[in-house]
Structure 1
Amino acid sequence: MNDTMVLPVDADPSAPALLLRPWRNEDAPALVEVYRDPVLRHWTTSVVDDEADALRWVGTQQEAWAAGHRFAFAVLEALPGAEPGPPLGNLVLKRVSPGGHTAEVGYWTSAPARGRGIAPRALEALTGWAFDTLGPTGLQRLELLHQVDNTASCRVAEKSRYAFDRVLTAAPPAYPLQGHLHVRLRSTPEQVR
């Protein structure tokens, strides 16, 4: 795992600067606190009830990073003149394959981070990193999926320029409700002109 990988996100007039970096074992206590939120537990499939669960979850993220098929970033507020605060969210690039043209993004935010514009700004940073890092070797399309009733995730997708593509059919038990598929395509220099 590349523990030195850090993606900075500049502050804007209404929101603080952020840092995206790989998850670390020392994040486990904060992860346990984040997962106490019933809203987060409703939307995620991971179970993090105690520090052992959190360490397993972090270990899984680290192993997937090392294998090169999933890149999970802790989202932290970058406080001026101080160490970053505890993780406020998670951004992940998943289903990555060497030379693959499509991958998927996902995210969650902690209760204190919601409504502050953190998820769209962090997602924009992850999207740019993914296309800059993997685009030259093939990545052309990022997909973002969420349950149809997750209106907050839909807003994040729209703010991050992930266009609505289609409604996905339910696939119980993992996906009990229909979902939305949003897509963002890599812009090439020819497309920008």
Structure 2
Amino acid sequence: MTVTLRTPAAGTTPALLLRPWTERDAEALIEAAGDAELRRWTSLAVDDAEGAAHWLGNQRAGWESGRRLSFAVLAQEALAAHVVVKWAEGERGRASVGYWTAAPARGRGVAPAALTALTDWVFETFADEGLERLELRHQMGNQGSCRVAEKAGYHFDRMLDPWPPHYSQPGHVHRRLRPAA
């Protein structure tokens, strides 16, 4: 499945292109992953070409299995963010979404716009497979992710206990339900 999504420019948010990750993204990925703030809130640990090749291989394998569909988010041809939808083994009624934003793109509305585009596409594409609910998880101290969730239409659902190594502190679960037909 080859998927490309586009969002128009709006206010301070640039037009975005969402497409599957490719090997040509390695250098930009390494640069984005070097940001201390991004590493504080994510498990992204890509330090060099070997790490980038491994991470990009995992993204490709996710598409091949259909269990993890990840997109590089580009603004003016530069890497701005990453968004992903993931299904647990055997689960099709519920999935989780995640994202991160490269440092130069933060505060420009990129994450909410990309997450909204992903969410709309996922609900439309997988409605016939019974997808009813998407969840977004973040650590409690990450107020930026809370704002992104709300701007993208994800409502607070419940508290999340720590779940090391992914979440070392309590967190929030936000949810968005499939719109009625």
Using the size of structure 1 for normalisation, the TM-score is: 0.89
Q: Which residue in the other structure is 1:145 paired with?
A: 137
1:134–1:177: structure 2 CA closer, same or farther, 3 Å change rule? Answer: same
Q: Compared with structure 1, are the counterparts of its residues 173 and 31 closer, same or farther at alpha carbon in structure 2 (3 Å cutoff)?
A: closer
Matched with 1:25 is: 23
Taking the aligned partners of 2:121 and 2:91, their CA distance within structure 1 comes to 16
- 1:71: which partner in 2? 69
Q: Residues 8, 54 of structure 1: CA spacing in aligned structure 2 closer, same or farther, 3 A cutoff?
A: same
**Aligned residue runs from structure 1 range 47-66, under 5 A:** 47-66=45-64
Query: In structure 2, which of residues 140, 143, 156 is the aligned counterpart of residue 164 of structure 1?
Result: 156
Q: Which residue of 2 aligns with 1:5?
A: 3
How well do the aligned residues superpose, as a CA RMSD in angstroms? 1.4
Larger radius of gyration between Structure 1 and Structure 2: 1
C-alpha distance in structure 2 between counterparts of 1:112 and 1:17, whole Å: 15
Q: Is 1:114 aligned to residue 106 of structure 2?
A: yes
Q: 1:173 to 1:13 in 2, by over 3 A?
A: closer
What do residues 40-78 of structure 1 show as CA deviations (whole Å, max 9, x unaligned)?
11111131000111111011100111110000000001x
Alpha-carbon distance in 1 for matches of 2:123, 2:16: 20
Closer/same/farther in 2, CA of residues 52 and 167 from structure 1, 3 Å limit: same
SS of equivalent to 1:16: coil
Query: How many residues align structurally?
Result: 181
Q: Is 62-71 or 37-46 further displaced after alignment?
A: 37-46
Return the letter of the residue paired with 2:153.
R
Structure 2 match to 1:82: none
**Which piece of structure 1 moves more, 5-14 or 28-37?**
5-14
In the superposition, relative to structure 1, how do residues 53 and 172 fare at CA in structure 2: closer, same or farther (>3 Å)? closer
Identity %: 50
Q: Deviations over 1:92-144 (max 9, x none)?
A: 00125667110000000000010000000000000001000011211000000
1:94 — aligned with what?
A: 86
Runs of 4+ in 1 over 4 A off after TM superposition: 96-99
Task: Check whether the contact 2:33–2:44 (CA below 8 A) recurs between aligned residues.
Answer: no
